[in-house]
Amino acid sequence: MQSGPREIVTPFRPIPLDVPEGMKPNEFFNSTENLNDLSHNNGLLQNSEGLLLYRKALGHSNEFDASIIYNTSQRILDPLGRPVRRTQVPDQVKNVWNRMNQIIFDYMLECYPDPDETLVLTGEASLDATWPLTSPGVPSIRMLHNHFIVFNKATLRDAPLADLNNPNLTDGGQHSLFQAHMRDVYRDFFDELDLQILRPCQDGSCKIALTGYPQGLPSWEVQGGVEALKEIRFWKEYDTILKGFIDFYRTFFTQVSTRNAALPRDIYFSELVENKLQFNNDFLKTAKMVRDRCIKDAKYANAIRWQPAFKQLIYRNDKGKLIVTISQNSIGNAITELLGVVVKRTPDADAYARDEPALIEKLLTVRQRLIEADLGEGIATPYWGA
């Protein structure tokens, strides 16, 4: 069978949300009112740390699809002032969030043990103000949230190949700025991070054969598999990957913005940045190339995401190994597209209703495990009880 990204159709039940007159949808989706609706109609569990587990009403997959959002909407009314990545979450909240992640991912692997039958993934994305504010692509909920998704591989095999020119599929490989012009710099930088559980993958060994993705992204195998996710060391290393990426991204685009710029403030690995980046000719030559184009090309400059833009994933590869990867450029792709899965959502209440009972049964089962682990209390909605 030909390897390549697939485009699948996922039906959903139309959401009865009325956007107030004069507001754009993305403006309303950032509001406290919308988050209340998310909780009342789709909420599964919440806790005193502000973490809300909910069904994805506009999901990627009707096999298994849920998210946890760090719901700060009522405490921080400014959407641009809310935590949008793991490094901005208080330690006591992150400890609870990591435990929730571990229990849900463990349940997913228990329900779907065969890597030949299902693609299993979890991860989060940056929701910083990295797009031009007038862009229709500005995130719909500007609060940190992650995804738990399962795709049936038979469905993917039967799906048509996606358009390779889809801009959301260009996060790595030959399309990536980092990969095309400073691949060795990028890899050498990550190689200096203090990682024990996460071991760098050999090129190509972590791809999903069916889709051929991820392409060109730095990836690490989780030594110890799902049991390693029960160790705090794993989650610290998961954060280390993110911190290293943020340092690299911020340092690069600071140099693009201002020639011979000083080290960005609040850097995580200042000595590593100084040694591996600020004195590296390939790194600085690439920054000059981008800067020169920004000066001459207004459209190109407007598309730059000056703040760190990333997707960070844990997924199971074809051999059953757990892999961590992180995206590396300024393209606003969906989290599933890192693995070559393009999702086309279509309103179809009848088709969704056929999938809903099995989906809800799994979500309520994993909710019970979280309750038993003292990670929250159940929420009652019109579709299920507390």
Q: Is residue 371 part of a domain?
A: yes
Higher pLDDT, 246 or 141: 246
Tens of pLDDT, residues 234-251: 999 999 999 999 999 999
Q: Is the pLDDT of residue 328 over 60?
A: yes
Q: Is residue 1 part of a domain?
A: no
Q: Is residue 129 part of a domain?
A: yes
Q: Is residue 385 part of a domain?
A: no
pTM of the complete model: 0.93
Per the rule left: phi > 0, alpha: psi between -120 and 50, beta: everything else, 361 is: alpha
If you average pLDDT over residues 298-312, what whole number do you get?
84
Q: Is residue 386 part of a domain?
A: no
Q: Is the pLDDT of residue 148 over 70?
A: yes
* 346 within 8 A of 59, measured Cβ to Cβ: no
What's the burial of 138, exposed, middle or buried (CB within 10 Å: 0-12/13-18/19+)? buried
Task: Please name every residue paired with 46 in a beta bridge, in sequence order, or none if there are none.
Answer: 52, 377
Lowest mean pLDDT segment, chosen from 82-91, 223-232, 311-320: 82-91
Q: Is the pLDDT of residue 346 over 80?
A: yes
Q: Is residue 282 part of a domain?
A: yes
What's the burial of 252, exposed, middle or buried (CB within 10 Å: 0-12/13-18/19+)? buried
Q: Widest CA span of the chain, in angstroms?
A: 60
**Which residue range(s) make up the domain with 83?**
6-378
Higher pLDDT, 122 or 168: 122
If you average pLDDT over residues 53-64, what whole number do you get?
94
Tens of pLDDT, residues 69-98: 999 888 888 877 888 889 999 999 999 999
Alpha helices in the chain (DSSP H): 25-29, 32-42, 91-111, 153-158, 177-191, 232-257, 270-276, 281-296, 298-303, 349-372
- Of 118, 144, 139, the residue nearest 339 (C-alpha): 118
Bridge pairing between strands 145-152 and 118-125:
antiparallel
Q: Is residue 384 part of a domain?
A: no
Q: Where residue 143 falls among pLDDT bands split at 50, 70, 90?
A: confident
Q: Is residue 383 part of a domain?
A: no
* 309 within 8 A of 128, measured Cβ to Cβ: yes
Residue 130 in tokens? 């990295």
As for how many domains the chain has, the answer is 1
Q: Is the pLDDT of residue 48 over 50?
A: yes
